[in-house]
Structure 1
């Protein structure tokens, strides 16, 4: 879908690359005017002003976006958007043949803006806690006291450091510091280890003068290794009562908007700390930059809900039995935690890396920034336009907005640039490119898919997903390497990975479907199409452990208690209504392991594989057993194996020592009561037919 009357303004940046404007105009169908400039940001800037007066404008340059935005701001109701033509296509050793890619980039840029993502509101005041050794912490407190509502928590003695005479901010001392929470609501707790309570201390220096060992410094910290328990300081402190060597209540806590942690080792040890928490270490420049960033976080903010959770699909736990914990283990921000049968995502801590959605086998967690359906629209659009313009063997390159884009730009400036067949697509975080996007892209016509891991936290989940997808493609007869995770922060490494990559076999006919919100639905569509046009169709492909597809088997120990049915979050396991039979629908199995963990007999085994024929969509019996009937009324009671197992386990119990008690184990609940009453009261058995 294209926006009407949007003018396309391209610039070859002082003729530094080749642009076939006529060919690009033809691919736009004539509905969107395409104009080529050579110095749009200099002597041709007036033409941009005129174009803005006539409607919306799309500019193929991001380098001068600030300048162009200023020009647009002076034109009432003008709308201007940007995309990068130079580094993404023109500046390349194959730039002269990049017209199909340029057409694809224009088509993607012409797509309407996606619907906004739901967000959460964050409000942060200027309450700043500075944590660290007294010297560094007090130094920054003095600099920032007029800008922030400063508090200081000193965590180590620095005798030469001196508390200011004027009490302009709170100063505490302690150890075992703990930080939790998020921007605007950091909860900090610590243990008061210093005998001197700095909150009560009036800084009269009497204790310093009184101490015979000189164990008290000008930071009012007691060096317990030098103190000989004379307690002269306690006497000198007198009625102020700030010194107590036998203090019982040593727990202290407080809430702060921002935290500047100057400790040598960060208190909050996370790969992705929350916004508002800065741990720059000991470097003075890093500390100054951290302070600058913290200053920009005071105010009210709207933060996207990067991930959507469908708790009904979550395979984390059932009845206190744990199954899948992949998202919890993968979350670098520690924003995901167990919450009973499902996980809980803290939107205030989530930084949007999307790894959780990548590793989630059921699709219970879905990345929303961008949504899969919006990303799918871009994928389908660029591949379609690339083919229509004569492009061959397209390779999609997913990369993060910041780190990935910067690396591509360095490659264009310093190296050979991107090959003409490599189409870059930016996402908020490349961590979120999962199995559905990888296989969906190939089904839609991509010859290959690369994920640039620059800026990601851990490329291992990406590599695992790519490995599963490649196994499937290879198993279907698609020759070559289709998927590659490029884990480098160096432009030369990116260049080598792309230019040395020979095209792989693509689908003979691109799919027509769209990527849909539910992960398993997208995978089902992609796999159906890949099988339909496969060079060597097969019914089954073996997969490695960790794959989200597979079967389960039960051994003879199974008593058909159906615990696994209640535990299965996807309905892959089912109990028949007409017999004692356990059914299995392989299409729905995500290999979460809840069934195996819930089985009291340890009778279930998981086996990863991909079953591609219609058998995967039919419920098949895993085990069927004879029905046991009550020996008194003939009422069905359950699987005979289950009743026999229960009888064997209870027969030796003292409560069932007698023959009558053991006999009742083979009766239904109603008949047990009746039999017990008859036995105790000596009543004659009544007619069971009444």
Structure 2
């Protein structure tokens, strides 16, 4: 790699010495460097195992090691001679402290495996696994074995749910042959005139003509009983191998511990199954703040974006508690729910937004300080995305690809959809020309749709502010040729950013970060619009109230999760603070008069942060004491709807015009008058 120690050192404020063979003949220099307490960054991931062995062989205290790849990401590229700013940025980010640890989710698997499918295929798979796992077969046709090597279940599968260590199978034993009693003597098969009994030892009732010769042949064993009613059963398993063509779980991300193999068990699945015995942990990928969740209020549903986008079906509506419920055991950590959440009630925790924000700011500030221009962040997954980038770098080194351009800075994420609008806009504020999300076949279709919608919102904001060019791009590629071509097009799409880069720290709250980014971008913007129209997926906007229909019942105020809608304790008014509005729609679904319409936009005038009156009316005074107790429109609307009702005639209708205290007094006064008349 054509590394330049002087320019790298200037960007990192350190004196650097370049080594050409640090893991081999210069290993002594590495061992001297790691003695001590300070952390050491090794700019090589290819020989990570060897460096680890050298560290273990080094006497005395050894510094903690971090590794970063600068070879395939920058050093092996046609732009390698221009890549020093990017390499300096990658080194600086690698030197950041580790994020704070997060809570974990535990699984416990005893190795009890259920294999569903044709008997011969299931038995073949079982023989590869039964030395490690406790295997049970669920027959779905096919020929069985004469030797009873594994328990065999059969019947109708009514349901399969759960996850690693906690699968629950529900089925009905609906066949006359009891497999627990059957000895596989084949006598029933020989005597059946319709060939209705197969080697799975189950009777095809559509073929059976009720000759019952099989019952007589099995009389000694008693395994066949046509009078037996279907019996429901349920049983628990730790793992499931499904050999059927149609999977039991239709979601893009099935539960951990479930393997679908319609073409038969492949070597990778075999290894994974054999390893899934014991206790396991994974990060709890999300934080949930129910108080600011915009899903439900007053038994009305508003926002359900997280439920719709979850590819693992781990999020559901909990109407009893007026919120969502996330099953941490099913969650795969894609983070798309946090990207589409308008309030930040769902936040990504692995790592947290504050840690990601620090990393992006460090990358971009170091890149700029090293002389880099038009920085593009390439957000990719740690698995397939990273593999393709490394393959591309090797192809560039061989001269068959251009490689990653010098201005493109790869940023590995647990999942590409886990970073959203708040961090994208922050990155532009920090000095990024473009933010590119690189997706492969790993991602579910709804992830792509969600990212595109959020990018459309972000681009509308920046275009409305007068920044030219395209700032957000979604790349989809599964081969290095496609990736190489897409990356080559990014230079032509360079976009304008703010004149001065921001230095704010990303906040733990999504809305706070959005406000910081928007304030900086608006202050530096070439244009000064009063408002920007935004797409429907926007977390910003206003509402319009039909004053003729609105009765100022204020049910929308109690439904608003963000305090965007407020009343006035002194006057009958409906007030609105646009900065707080998340466009969840709870106000519109709650309004009994259908008087509210959402309008996505970004208001940029000071009025955005100030309460403004959407509707007001005269108070209605009690006809008995004169005290205001409602609004004129609300009481008149109520009287209009109830005046024809048999329960509200005469004095009863008149009491609706009274405050609560006077209504009680009037009722008791009327009762006293009745008693006096009776006397």
Mapped to 2, the partners of 1:312 and 1:95 lie a distance apart of 50
**Larger relative contact order, structure 1 or 2 (CA cutoff 8 Å, min sep 6):** 2
The runs of 5 or more residues in structure 2 that have no matched partner are 396-400
Q: 1:403-422, aligned counterparts within 5 Å?
A: 403-414=384-395, 415-422=401-408
Equivalent residue pairs, number? 660
**Cα deviation digits, residues 69-115 of structure 1 (max 9, x gap):** 22222235433221001011111111111111111111001111111
Structure 1 window deviating more from structure 2 (342-351 vs 491-500): it is 491-500
Are 2:237 and 1:256 equivalent residues in the alignment?
Answer: yes
Query: What is residue 632 of structure 1 aligned with on the other side?
Result: 624
Q: 1:50-449, aligned counterparts within 5 Å?
A: 50-53=32-35, 56-76=39-59, 77-78=61-62, 79-155=64-140, 157-158=141-142, 161-166=143-148, 168-238=149-219, 240-284=221-265, 286=266, 288-340=267-319, 341-414=322-395, 415-449=401-435
Mapped to 1, the partners of 2:105 and 2:4 lie a distance apart of 45
User: How far off is 1:194 after superposition?
Assistant: 2.5
Q: Report the secondary structure of 1:456's partner residue.
A: coil
Structure 1 window deviating more from structure 2 (414-423 vs 236-245): it is 236-245
CA contact (8 A) 1:627 1:637 kept: yes
CA contact (8 A) 1:260 1:291 kept: no
CA contact (8 A) 1:434 1:465 kept: yes
Q: Report the secondary structure of 2:25's partner residue.
A: coil
Are 2:458 and 1:472 equivalent residues in the alignment?
Answer: no
**Cα deviation digits, residues 507-536 of structure 1 (max 9, x gap):** 111111011111100000000000111111
Are 2:562 and 1:570 equivalent residues in the alignment?
Answer: yes
Mapped to 2, the partners of 1:557 and 1:27 lie a distance apart of 63
The runs of 5 or more residues in structure 1 that have no matched partner are 1-16, 686-690
CA contact (8 A) 1:92 1:418 kept: yes
Query: What is residue 12 of structure 2 aligned with on the other side?
Result: 28
Q: Report the secondary structure of 1:36's partner residue.
A: coil
User: How far off is 1:683 after superposition?
Assistant: 6.9
Mapped to 1, the partners of 2:498 and 2:520 lie a distance apart of 9
CA contact (8 A) 2:554 2:574 kept: yes
Mapped to 1, the partners of 2:304 and 2:181 lie a distance apart of 47
Structure 1 window deviating more from structure 2 (668-677 vs 291-300): it is 668-677
Mapped to 2, the partners of 1:420 and 1:238 lie a distance apart of 81
**Cα deviation digits, residues 338-358 of structure 1 (max 9, x gap):** 112211111111110110011
CA contact (8 A) 2:146 2:184 kept: no
Are 2:516 and 1:525 equivalent residues in the alignment?
Answer: yes
Q: 1:34-53, aligned counterparts within 5 Å?
A: 34-53=16-35
Q: 554, 568, 572: which one pairs with 2:545?
A: 554
Are 2:3 and 1:19 equivalent residues in the alignment?
Answer: yes
Question: How much is the aligned-residue C-alpha RMSD, in angstroms?
Answer: 1.9
Mapped to 2, the partners of 1:593 and 1:508 lie a distance apart of 37
Mapped to 2, the partners of 1:601 and 1:330 lie a distance apart of 31
Query: What is residue 671 of structure 1 aligned with on the other side?
Result: 662
CA distance 1:684–1:229, change in 2 (3 Å):
closer
Q: TM-score, normalised by structure 1?
A: 0.92
Mapped to 2, the partners of 1:587 and 1:327 lie a distance apart of 22
User: How far off is 1:644 after superposition?
Assistant: 1.2
Mapped to 1, the partners of 2:555 and 2:253 lie a distance apart of 39
Q: Report the secondary structure of 2:218's partner residue.
A: helix
CA contact (8 A) 2:85 2:366 kept: yes
Mapped to 1, the partners of 2:578 and 2:193 lie a distance apart of 79
Mapped to 2, the partners of 1:162 and 1:496 lie a distance apart of 53
Query: What is residue 601 of structure 1 aligned with on the other side?
Result: 593
Mapped to 2, the partners of 1:532 and 1:53 lie a distance apart of 48
CA contact (8 A) 1:198 1:242 kept: yes
User: How far off is 1:46 after superposition?
Assistant: 4.0
CA contact (8 A) 1:327 1:355 kept: yes
Q: TM-score, normalised by structure 2?
A: 0.94
**Cα deviation digits, residues 639-689 of structure 1 (max 9, x gap):** 121111111111111112x3222212212233233323333432799xxxx
Mapped to 1, the partners of 2:675 and 2:232 lie a distance apart of 72
CA contact (8 A) 1:564 1:594 kept: yes
Mapped to 1, the partners of 2:171 and 2:594 lie a distance apart of 45
Are 2:484 and 1:505 equivalent residues in the alignment?
Answer: no
Mapped to 2, the partners of 1:262 and 1:34 lie a distance apart of 57
Mapped to 1, the partners of 2:448 and 2:668 lie a distance apart of 68
Mapped to 2, the partners of 1:316 and 1:57 lie a distance apart of 46
CA distance 1:242–1:568, change in 2 (3 Å):
farther
Mapped to 2, the partners of 1:546 and 1:481 lie a distance apart of 19
CA contact (8 A) 1:560 1:641 kept: yes
Q: Report the secondary structure of 1:35's partner residue.
A: coil
**Cα deviation digits, residues 566-612 of structure 1 (max 9, x gap):** 11111111111001111111111111111100111111100110011
Q: 469, 472, 481: which one pairs with 1:492?
A: 481
Are 2:438 and 1:456 equivalent residues in the alignment?
Answer: no
Mapped to 2, the partners of 1:662 and 1:682 lie a distance apart of 18
CA contact (8 A) 1:177 1:267 kept: no
CA contact (8 A) 1:539 1:613 kept: yes
CA contact (8 A) 2:305 2:340 kept: yes
Mapped to 1, the partners of 2:281 and 2:485 lie a distance apart of 40
Q: Report the secondary structure of 1:238's partner residue.
A: coil
Q: Report the secondary structure of 1:634's partner residue.
A: coil
CA distance 1:204–1:557, change in 2 (3 Å):
same
Mapped to 1, the partners of 2:591 and 2:231 lie a distance apart of 47
Structure 1 window deviating more from structure 2 (662-671 vs 559-568): it is 662-671
CA distance 1:53–1:662, change in 2 (3 Å):
closer
**Cα deviation digits, residues 322-371 of structure 1 (max 9, x gap):** 11111001000111111122111111111101100111111111111121
Structure 1 window deviating more from structure 2 (458-467 vs 590-599): it is 458-467
CA contact (8 A) 2:115 2:138 kept: yes
Mapped to 1, the partners of 2:206 and 2:27 lie a distance apart of 72
Mapped to 1, the partners of 2:557 and 2:216 lie a distance apart of 72
Mapped to 2, the partners of 1:199 and 1:635 lie a distance apart of 81
